[in-house]
Structures are given as structure tokens and as C-alpha cells.
Amino acid sequence: MTRIAVAGASGLIGSALVRSLTADGHDVLRLVRRAPRAADEIRWDPRGGQVDAAGLDGCEAIVNLAGAGVGDHRWTAAYKREIHDSRVLGTTVLAEAAASLDTPPRVFLNGSAIGYYGDTGARAVDESAPAGEGFLPSLCVEWEAATAPAHQAGIRTVLARTGLVVARGGGAWAKLFPLFKAGLGGRMGDGSQYWSYIALHDHVAALRHLLDADALSGPVNLTAPHPATNREVATAMGRVLHRPALLPVPAPVLRVVLGEMAGDVLGSTRAVPSRLLESGFDFAFPGLEEAIGAA
């Protein structure tokens, strides 16, 4: 049995990962921002730079998936600061705590995002590509750099650059399901922008793979092998849900509704999972309609 600490355990991906690990008999500890109410909880305060390091003793892995939802609110200056601080400050405190342990974990698995690459248009990018420009790329650069204390302590440090997770229970994709079920779905803008997606099942399986793949460290794209255009996404959603996808959302409307965030919705990131595939990972739902059907 392996002892694993998970930050962000109440989120879409974190809760699915905890269920998967627990079902396989692992001892999972959840980091919480309140007073612990159970033996499997560890108190931490990412903004205050504090974590119960003693509670991390004996953990073979620390997984950090914590962070304010990028698509949960309009990007005001205050919410952009919340997005930033919830990731960078939390990662810093956990990486420093991991490095301070007498017996450090063998792996520090930290969340990141394909937002690192910015708008790549139709150009496919893998983990060797440089960071793009804008709020999300800059955030991802800082977020990943915050893991430095763990890396410098000799802990295998993995950066899981997540794509759009196809799930009904949360995340940006969950907002699409009711629209398409109501027959109101359609392409966004001209529909040519690439969406690098991954089924929730495959995302959790990939995280499990990264925990066990001792040869992997650094950035790893967690996306399906073949990104789809937004037009293809709209068609596939309509087909799987048996609803027409006839109503495009014009770009100017998106900019009015979403503000600055519209740039990332209308933008295109064609990220491919080169390192994941090279390491022998097998996708259960690699195709777009398969991923939607499994959500």
C-alpha cells in the first residue's frame, strides 16, 4: 500500500483520482484548508504559506491539483490574481514542504496546463515547445517554476500539462452538455481553433501512470493524441447527444460575454502528448466521440 497526499482532492480531477487510488488500496491523505475532521486529512494554508509537514511524513507521492477554476468567473483583475495565487503560492508551499522532509517523497506530481503554449494556431506542439504569450502562458511558467524546491531536493518532479477534460461533472466542458442537449450548441467563432481534449477516465489513468513511471519527469502533456477543431467538437457533441449543432456563437458575442477569457476560447492550442505516448501509455478513449460518450 502506498501513502499519497493529494491537494485539490475535492475538484473534478482530484476527486476522481482519490476514488481511483482508494479503490486500489492506496492510503490517500487529502489536504484541506480547515481544521481536519478525519484521520485522512492534513491542514494547509496555501496563502499563508503553511502546511502540516509532519502529516506528509511517510508519503511516497505528493499530488498538487489545487487551484481556482480558470473558467468559473469572468477574468476581473481580482479573479486573475486569485487564479495566479491559488496555483503559485500553493505549489510553492507544498514543494518546500516536500523538500524539507527527512524522507522526501519519491515523486512530486504538480498540475499545469496546455495554456503554457498560448495560441499555436494549426501548429502542433509537444513538450519541447516554448511558452507562449499572455496571461495563461505567464501563469503556467510561474506555476511550474514554483516546483523548483522539490526538484532541487532530488525529488522526481512531474508537470502535468492538462488539456480540456471531457466530463459532465465539472470543468469547462461540463458547461457544453446542457447547451447541446437543449439544441443550442454550435461552433464558437469560425470553429477552426483546436481544442486539445482528454477524457476524464484517461486523465486519471495518465496521472496514475505518471506516479509510477520512474523515468518521467518535467512537463508531460495530458491530452488525447489527436486534437480536434471546435467545429469538429460541435459536430461530435451534436451527434453523441442526438441534437443538431446549428447555432454558431459569433466571436464578438463571446468577447462581450466572456471578456478577456474569450481570447482563450477563440484561441487555438494544438497540443499533442508525445512524452506520454513514448512512455507506453494507452488511451482508453482516444477519439473525440469516444471521450464524449464516456463523460
Q: Which region among 73-82, 121-130, 221-230 has the lowest average model confidence (pLDDT)?
A: 73-82
Q: What is the pLDDT of residue 270?
A: 97
Mean pLDDT of 133-159: 97
How does pLDDT run across 179-211, given as a tens digit for each residue? 788 877 788 878 899 999 999 999 999 999 999
Most confident of 114-123, 163-172, 184-193: 114-123
> Over pLDDT 90: what percentage of the chain?
76
Looking at per-residue pLDDT, the higher value among 112 and 263 belongs to 112
Q: What is the pLDDT of residue 259?
A: 59
Output the pTM of the full model. Answer: 0.93
Q: How far apart are CA 72 and CA 77, in angstroms?
A: 14
How does pLDDT run across 271-283, given as a tens digit for each residue? 999 999 999 999 9
| Phi, psi (degrees; rounded to nearest 5) at 50 | -130, 145
122 pLDDT higher than 70 = yes
146 pLDDT higher than 80 = yes
Domain ranges of the chain: 3-294
Q: What is the pLDDT of residue 74?
A: 76
Distance of CA 18 to the CA centre of its chain: 15
How does pLDDT run across 218-253, given as a tens digit for each residue? 999 999 999 999 999 989 999 999 987 776 766 565
256 pLDDT higher than 70 = no
Q: Which CATH number fits domain 3-294: 3.30.470.20, 3.10.20.30, 3.40.50.720, 3.30.230.10?
A: 3.40.50.720
Q: Which three cell numbers stand for residue 151?
A: 526538484
How does pLDDT run across 14-72, given as a tens digit for each residue? 999 999 999 999 999 999 999 999 999 999 999 899 999 999 999 999 999 999 888 76
258 pLDDT higher than 60 = no
85 pLDDT higher than 70 = yes
Q: What is the pLDDT of residue 255?
A: 59
